[in-house]
């Protein structure tokens, strides 16, 4: 794992302590279990600040007030002394975001940040993250299964299957020029508002393989209607098929040209 020319996996324990939450920070998908139930929100925010900055408690408290205000928490001085169970799910997620941006990280990783939130609150949290990205100039990596979130907020997308990247490109290419059969299957299985209704949605047949017993060759081949004999023999490398567009499929160029899909329709 290379970050700004440095191998993160080669760091010492002390170096990692200064790195996590400082250069790269994370928003976890379940704020209720991620926040400590026996400490106030204020104490947990102050701890995140003091751990990485040489400041006293008074300064950390003032910084915490600013962070809570930035993420839209009302009555910040009263809420500062509240416990996690006294907040709603959406408010807890706002607190998690405040903790994540406390030290102005270069990269913010959001792991399913809208899980278990209703649709209205989901939109508020995502809009908040978008605003903070512009204010703090941080990059955000969103881990999600929600393709609607991907379409609206992502610039570049990496599609993963069975723990490996299978396609990487700008968001428009992923939605309109998918070049891996798994990506294509995802697009066929969702309702699209930007296309005419074309019959029923088509789910991807089968189930993902066990990560402790992966099949030989391409891990998607047993579910793939485009698989050929070569797919059983070796795993296709993630290769560039056009500028800024990579796919791990032996038939990616056929997908890109459209010839494979035309042939399938004719058959």
In a 10 Å sphere around its CB, with 0-12 CB exposed, 13-18 middle and 19+ buried, how is residue 182 labelled?
Answer: buried
In a 10 Å sphere around its CB, with 0-12 CB exposed, 13-18 middle and 19+ buried, how is residue 73 labelled?
Answer: buried
- The pLDDT of residue 110 is 93
- In the chain, the percentage of residues whose pLDDT exceeds 90 is 68
Taking only the tens place, the pLDDT of each residue in 21-45 is: 889 999 988 888 889 999 999 999 9
Detail the DSSP E strand segments found in 80-129. 107-111
How high is the mean pLDDT in each 10-residue block of the chain (267 residues)? 90 90 88 91 95 92 95 94 94 92 92 84 89 88 92 95 97 95 93 71 91 94 94 96 96 88 55
Token pair 């191998």 is found at 7
User: Cα separation of 181 and 127, whole Å?
Assistant: 32
pTM of the model: 0.85
User: Of 41, 30, 182, which Cα lies nearest the Cα of 102?
Assistant: 41
- The pLDDT of residue 264 is 53
CA distances from 75 to 36, 44, 69, 140 (A): 21, 17, 9, 28
Taking only the tens place, the pLDDT of each residue in 195-245 is: 666 667 889 999 999 999 999 999 999 999 999 999 999 999 999 999 999
Q: Domains (ranges, CATH) in the chain?
A: 17-141 (3.40.50.300), 156-206+216-266 (no CATH)
Token pair 């993250």 is found at 129
- The pLDDT of residue 266 is 47
The dihedral over CA atoms of 103, 104, 106, 111, expressed in degrees to the nearest 10, equals 80
- The pLDDT of residue 202 is 87
- The pLDDT of residue 122 is 87
């Amino acid at each position: 794992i290379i970050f700004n020319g440095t191998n993160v996996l080669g760091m010492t324990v002390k170096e990692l302590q200064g790195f996590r939450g400082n250069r790269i920070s994370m928003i976890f998908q379940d704020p209720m279990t991620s926040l400590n139930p026996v400490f106030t929100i204020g104490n947990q925010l102050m701890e995140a600040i003091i751990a990485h900055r040489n400041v006293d408690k008074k300064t950390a408290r003032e910084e915490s007030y600013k962070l809570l205000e930035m993420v839209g928490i009302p009555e910040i001085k009263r809420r500062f002394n509240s416990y996690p169970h006294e907040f709603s799910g959406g408010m807890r997620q706002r607190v998690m975001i405040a903790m994540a941006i406390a030290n102005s990280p270069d990269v913010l990783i959001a792991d399913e940040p809208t899980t278990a939130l209703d649709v209205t609150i989901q939109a508020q949290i995502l809009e908040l993250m978008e605003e903070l990205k512009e204010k703090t100039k941080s990059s955000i990596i969103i881990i999600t299964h929600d393709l609607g979130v991907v379409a609206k907020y992502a610039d570049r997308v990496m599609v993963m299957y069975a723990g490996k990247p299978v396609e990487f490109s700008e968001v428009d290419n992923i939605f309109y020029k998918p070049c891996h059969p798994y990506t294509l299957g995802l697009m066929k299985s969702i309702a699209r508002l930007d296309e005419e209704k074309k019959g029923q949605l088509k789910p991807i047949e089968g189930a993902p393989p066990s990560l402790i017993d992966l099949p030989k060759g391409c891990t998607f081949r047993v579910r793939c209607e485009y698989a050929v004999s070569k797919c059983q023999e070796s795993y296709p490398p993630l290769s560039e098929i056009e500028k800024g567009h990579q796919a791990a499929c032996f038939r990616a160029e056929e997908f890109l040209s459209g010839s494979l899909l035309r042939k399938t329709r004719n058959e």
